[in-house]
């Protein structure tokens, strides 16, 4: 049964990054152990799955190391798809033949985020929790830190726009 789980494709997003390509690390890949990725204080060993992902609005890709259930347990680098595939090949020899594209476009990934955060949307600007620094709730709805700041400066125009301005004036 574990093998069935391990060969399943990943969800559209891992750690809020869109999955571009993925691979299961089972045969024919051979784990070499040639990596320095840590989970806490422990060196990360062989994992079940790898995924090359991209955060929205960022051109750089990231290589995630995942367990059977596609939980991200490590991240080993940033770069282009070719660079990350080469990095993975050092750790899992013969893995380059097995990468698979995830047929999820940006629009589908955005739709997945909309569903994921449907209860965590600012009532004023409609941004999701993943699009802002912080969200505040009153029980009736939510407001993001951007709108709080905007409204504060609208009603208190003489206050500094951020803490760094306040520190400079001291």
Dihedral angle of Cα 21, 22, 27, 31, to the nearest 10 degrees:
100
> What is the average pLDDT across 43-66?
90
Domain locations along the chain:
2-110, 118-169
> Any idea what DSSP says for residue 78?
E
The H-or-E segment that residue 54 falls in is strand 49-55
Mean of per-residue pLDDT scores for the chain: 85
In the predicted structure, residue 10 carries a pLDDT above the cut 60: yes
What's the rounded Cα separation, in Å, for the pair 125 and 151?
12
Percent of all residues in the chain with a pLDDT value above 90, rounded to a whole number:
42
Residues with Cβ within 8 Å of 138's Cβ and at least 6 positions away in sequence, in order, are none
In the predicted structure, residue 4 carries a pLDDT above the cut 80: no
Q: What is the pTM of this model?
A: 0.71
In the predicted structure, residue 66 carries a pLDDT above the cut 90: yes
């Amino acid at each position: 049964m574990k093998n069935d789980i391990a060969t399943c494709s990943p969800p559209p997003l891992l750690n809020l990054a869109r999955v571009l390509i993925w691979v299961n690390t089972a045969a024919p890949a051979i784990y070499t152990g040639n990596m320095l990725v840590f989970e806490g204080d422990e060196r990360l060993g062989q994992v079940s799955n790898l995924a090359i992902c991209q955060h929205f609005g960022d051109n750089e890709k990231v290589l995630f190391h995942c367990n059977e259930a596609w939980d991200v347990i490590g991240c080993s680098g940033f770069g282009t798809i070719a660079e990350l595939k080469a990095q993975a090949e050092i750790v899992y020899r013969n893995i380059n033949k097995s990468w698979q594209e995830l047929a999820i476009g940006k629009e589908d990934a955005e739709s997945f985020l909309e569903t994921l955060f449907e209860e965590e949307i600012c009532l004023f600007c409609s941004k999701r929790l993943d699009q802002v620094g912080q969200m505040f709730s009153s029980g009736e709805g939510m407001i993001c830190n951007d709108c709080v700041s905007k409204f504060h400066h609208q009603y208190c125009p003489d206050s500094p726009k951020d803490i760094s301005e306040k520190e400079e004036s001291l």
